[in-house]
Amino acid sequence: MHEWALAESVIKSAVEHASAEKLKKLKEAGVVFGELQAIDGEIFSFALEELRKQFPGAASCKFKIIKQPAAFRCKACSHEFPLKGLKKTKDEAEFIHFVPEMAHTFLKCPKCKSPDFEIARGRGVSISYIKGEK
């Protein structure tokens, strides 16, 4: 059920940012949703739609979900590589989705074969933009 708490935090942050920008009413907010974020995207979207009604400044706001693909950066050679296209079994893909740190167990840098890399993109939830009425 943390999708609901996360959705509420996103809405509160959007409303606070809109207030700081002197916007009276939020019209649209872009929400970046990382591929490795271990939450159910459908439940999160539904929670945004339902919870926005509780916030006067966001009641008619449309939340646009922007999916951010996962990418890794090798610590040995600095090569950046996407998760998409790397060879992995269905089970490995599921492990990585639910526990992103498991990627180190199954993946290696395609350039230098090092297992020492960091998650560069595709984790977390953030607001990329807001639009509204002044």
Q: Which CATH number belongs to the domain containing residue 32 in this structure?
A: 3.30.2320.50
Residues 41-48: contacts with CB under 8 Å, at least 24 apart: 41/65, 41/67, 43/3, 43/4, 44/3, 44/6, 44/7, 44/125, 47/3, 47/4, 47/6, 47/7, 47/8, 48/7, 48/10, 48/11
Residues 84 and 99 in one domain: yes
Give how many domains the chain has, as a whole number: 2
Specify whether 31 is located in the same domain as 96. Answer: no
Boundaries of domain holding 41: 2-68+122-133
Mark whether 64 and 126 lie in a shared domain. yes
pLDDT one digit per residue (tens) for the chain, 134 residues: 589 999 999 999 999 999 999 998 899 999 999 988 878 889 999 999 999 999 988 999 999 999 999 899 999 999 999 988 776 777 777 777 667 777 778 788 999 999 999 999 998 899 999 999 98
Whole-model pTM: value is 0.79
Q: Are residues 56 and 80 in the same domain?
A: no
Shared domain for 78 and 112, answered yes or no, is yes
